[in-house]
């Protein structure tokens, strides 16, 4: 393919669009719909950010004044995060005060999604992200060097390579740090001075005016941390004081969780090029099993031995999506027959003893529901042998 042909070719399709592109129409509408006061550097008002994340409760918002080109006169904002509105409001207030925000919770509770949505709404991009790992270095929070330019020119501002955090400081945007407690403590503590002094010193450039990079108005940091990782690389007291902590809990409402799982699974199967063909009854059974095992108590009030693994909503979405892909590309059987095997794959991730706990759940609530006359649960009880 020639250079001209490459330039004329359509952009390559992407599996997942970032929030600022996926919801670009809503963001543009909210920016025009709510002209109220905004903190420095914000693309939307704090009220509009909350509406973007939580939705408008089915109400169509009206664009004031003249209709603007490319924008509808009315638009209902879809909810994107299922959780307490008060939690989202506290997060927005924290960011408006330019304070660090730390989202904690069990794995799979949509901390990263909430972080992405907040960053996209506040500053228009969620891309300034550091993924925390045991191998993450301090350069990921401060800066690095283009070594070819460094060797050719010495330490110059042109040879400096900004980290996502430093880029956010220069432009007054939100930097995201995923799984901060996976980073080593000495790497985490690079954020202490950044969040306190709001500037980064580059001692290699001491003779130039670029030796200190100040944070522009609007800069702040959203970090996430799993409660299961507590103690892996515990945050220092100094760093903790520079964040407001908010805990993202599992979805409390069963109907809301089922709706979310279906919506996310449908989107995943459609990305795989197929239509979602899993019955609602099967999804209800999936949600019931996950919620029973997560809470240690069935919907009927029967005690359930909880597995050591986290039965998260994110895992339920993956199981629902797998069932949808199987129904689309490997038809011929009852998709319900596949559910026990997928559940076994979820519970055996951390502790082999969880296999026995899943069997115990089958011998308890599943059997009792089958005895009560439910055809679906009777079929699941008949499938107990597939769990061995």
Residue 226 clears pLDDT 50, i.e. is over it: yes
Which ranges constitute the DSSP H helices of 140-183? 147-153, 164-171
pLDDT band at 93 (very low <50, low <70, confident <90, very high): very high
**pLDDT on residue 9:** 43
Q: Say whether 178 sits in a helix, a strand or coil.
A: strand
Mean pLDDT for the stretch of residues 216-235 = 88
**pLDDT on residue 6:** 45
With contact defined as beta carbons under 8 Å apart, do 177 and 222 qualify?
Answer: yes
pLDDT band at 138 (very low <50, low <70, confident <90, very high): very high
Q: What average pLDDT is seen over the chain?
A: 92
Handedness of CA 336, 342, 348, 349 (dihedral sign): negative
Lookup result for tokens 């042109």:
158
Handedness of CA 329, 333, 339, 340 (dihedral sign): negative
Mean pLDDT for the stretch of residues 88-100 = 97
pLDDT band at 11 (very low <50, low <70, confident <90, very high): low
Could you write out the DSSP letters of every residue in 317-332?
Answer: HHHHHHHHHHHHHS-S
pLDDT in tens, 362-386: 999 999 999 998 899 999 999 999 9
**pLDDT on residue 244:** 97
The share of the chain scoring above pLDDT 70, in percent, equals: 95
The Cα–Cα gap between 308 and 305 comes to 9
Lookup result for tokens 């629902």:
320
pLDDT band at 70 (very low <50, low <70, confident <90, very high): confident
């Amino acid at each position: 393919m020639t250079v001209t042909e490459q330039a004329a070719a359509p952009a390559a399709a992407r599996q997942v669009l970032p929030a600022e592109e996926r919801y670009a129409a809503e963001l543009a509408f909210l920016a025009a719909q709510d002209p109220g006061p905004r903190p420095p550097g914000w693309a939307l008002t704090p009220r509009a950010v909350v509406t973007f994340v939580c939705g408008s409760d089915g109400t169509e918002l009206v664009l004031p004044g003249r209709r603007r080109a490319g924008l509808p006169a009315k638009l209902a904002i879809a909810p994107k995060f299922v959780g307490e509105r008060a939690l989202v409001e506290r997060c927005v207030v924290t960011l408006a005060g330019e304070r660090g925000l730390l989202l904690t919770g069990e794995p799979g509770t949509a901390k990263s999604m909430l972080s992405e949505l907040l960053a996209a709404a506040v500053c228009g991009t969620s891309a300034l992200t550091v993924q925390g790992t045991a191998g993450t270095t301090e350069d990921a929070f401060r800066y690095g060097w283009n070594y070819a330019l460094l060797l050719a020119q010495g330490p110059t501002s042109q040879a400096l390579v900004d980290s996502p955090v430093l880029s956010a400081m220069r432009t007054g945007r939100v930097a995201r740090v995923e799984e901060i407690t996976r980073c080593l403590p000495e790497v985490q503590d690079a954020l202490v001075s950044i969040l306190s002094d709001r500037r980064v010193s580059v001692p290699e450039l001491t003779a130039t005016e670029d030796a200190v990079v100040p944070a522009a108005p609007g800069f702040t940091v959203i970090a996430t941390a799993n409660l299961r990782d507590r103690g892996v690389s515990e945050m220092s007291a100094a760093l903790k004081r520079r964040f407001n902590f908010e805990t993202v809990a599992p979805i409390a409402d069963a109907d809301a969780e089922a709706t979310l799982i279906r919506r996310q699974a449908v989107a995943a199967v459609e990305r795989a090029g197929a239509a979602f063909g899993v019955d609602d009854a099967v999804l209800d059974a999936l949600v019931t099993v996950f919620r029973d095992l997560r809470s240690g108590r069935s919907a009927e009030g029967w005690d359930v031995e909880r597995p050591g693994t986290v039965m998260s909503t994110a895992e339920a979405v993956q199981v629902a999506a797998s069932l949808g892909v199987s129904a689309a590309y490997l038809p011929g059987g009852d998709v319900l027959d596949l559910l026990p095997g997928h559940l076994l794959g979820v519970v055996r991730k951390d502790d082999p003893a969880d296999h026995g706990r899943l069997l115990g759940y089958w011998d308890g609530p599943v059997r009792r529901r089958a005895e009560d006359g439910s055809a679906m649960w009777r079929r699941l009880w008949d499938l107990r042998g597939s769990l061995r």
